[in-house]
Amino acid sequence: MTLSAEAFRFVADLVRRESAIVLEQGKEYLVDSRLRSLAQAAGDADVNAYVDRLRRPEGARETAKVVEAMTTNETSWFRDREPFQALSGTIFQELMQRPNHSRTIRIWSAACSSGQEAYTIAMLAAEHVVPLGWRVEIVATDLAQSMVDRTREGRYSQLEVGRGMPAPMLVKYFQREGTGWRVNDQLRSMVRVQTLNLAAPYPPMPVFDVVFLRNVLIYFDAATKKQVLGRVRQVLDPQGYLFLGGAETTLGLDDSWDRTMIGRFTVNRPKGAGAAAPATGTAPLAGLAGLGARRAI
C-alpha cells in the first residue's frame, strides 16, 4: 500500500513542527521508505497504519523516532577543503593574534551529525593551535539523540574512517578498537556534545569565535532561516566567523551579515567586523580529500 496523501500531510506537519524541516510534495516516497522499519517495529501492517498510531496519545512516544528517521546524516572526513583550509590557514592565526587573556578559542559545530565535522576541527586545532599553548573548546550539537550519543562515543567503523581520513591523521588521533576505530582522548576532551534544536530557543551557550552551520539551512523555509541566523548571531563574537554550506547564503535573509573571501571560500561575519585577515599562504590541507559533515534530507 502506498502512503496516503492525508498520512503524508500529517507526517510533514509533525516533522515541521518538531524540527522546522520542510518536506515538500514529491517526498511521499521518502516518507514511506523511511518510516517502514518503524511501522514494522511497532507491529503495524504498513506506514499508513503507523501514522494512525501517531495520531493517538501513545503516538507521542514515536515522535522523536519519526523526526530522526526523516533526517539522513551523510558524513565524511576532510570534506569541502576550502572552509577548513580557511580555518587552519587563516582564521586560527587571526584569532590567536587578538588580545585574549584566556587563550581559548571556542567553536560551535551545529547539526554535527555523527561527529566527523567536530573531530575534524579538533584535529586541525591539535595541529595548529594547541602546540602554541592555546585551548580549543568545541561544542557539537544535533537534534537527534542517537547522533549526539555517537559523537560523544567517537567510535567509527573501518568504512567510515575510510571516507576521506588521511592515514597519518588516523594513526595519530585514533585508536584501534575491535574492527573499528575510536577518537583518542585528546580530541574527545576538546568536544562537548549536547542535543539542540536549531529552530527552537537555545539554552545558555558560550560566546563562540567560529560557528559551523553548514548544509542545514537548506532544509528550512525562509522565515526559519532568518530566525536561526539571528539566534546564531547572538552567540557569535562580534568579530567572529560563520561558516555556511556552499548552497547557503545570508543574502535576502538577514542584512546584518557581511561576506568576505578567504581563498576560494566565502565566510560570513557580523556587519562591522571588518574584512577577514589575509591568507597566510600556507596550505596545511594540501593533499587531503576534503572535510566536514553534511546533514541531508
E strands in 28-157: 72-75, 104-109, 135-142, 155-156
Residue-wise pLDDT for 117-155, tens only, equals: 999 999 999 999 999 999 999 999 998 898 999 999 999
Determine the pLDDT at residue 13: 87
Cα–Cα distance for residue pair 123/291, rounded to 1 Å: 11
Residues carrying CATH 3.40.50.150, the chain = 73-296
Q: Please count the CA atoms within 13 angstroms of the CA of 223 that sit on its side-chain side.
A: 4
Evaluated on CA atoms 200, 201, 202, 203, the torsion sign reads negative
Tell me the pLDDT band of 272, cut-offs 50, 70 and 90: confident
User: What's the first-to-final CA gap in the chain, in angstroms?
Assistant: 23
Tell me the C-alpha distance between 65 and 58, whole Å: 13
The backbone torsions φ and ψ at residue 125, rounded to the nearest 5 degrees and listed phi first, read -65, -40
Determine the pLDDT at residue 278. Answer: 57
CB atoms within 10 A of CB 136: 22
Q: pLDDT by residue (tens digit) across 159-217? A: 898 887 889 999 999 999 999 999 999 999 999 999 999 989 999 999 999 999 999 99
Dihedral sign for Cα 208, 210, 214, 218, please: positive
SS3 for 133?
A: coil
Gap between the Cα atoms of 119 and 33, Å rounded: 31
Residues of CATH 1.10.155 domain(s) within the chain?
A: 5-70
Q: What is the pLDDT of residue 25?
A: 83
pLDDT of residue 228: 95
68, three cell numbers: 530522526
Report the alpha-carbon distance of residue 26 to residue 297 in Å, rounded. Answer: 13
pLDDT at 291 over 50: no
Predicted local distance difference test score (pLDDT) of residue 74? 62
- What class has domain 73-296? alpha beta
Please tell me the predicted confidence (pLDDT) of residue 190: 97
Q: Report the alpha-carbon angle 132-148-127, nearest 5.
A: 15
Q: Please give the pLDDT value at position 203.
A: 93
On the question of pLDDT at 27 being above 90, the answer is no
Q: May I ask the CATH architecture of the domain 5-70?
A: Orthogonal Bundle (1.10)
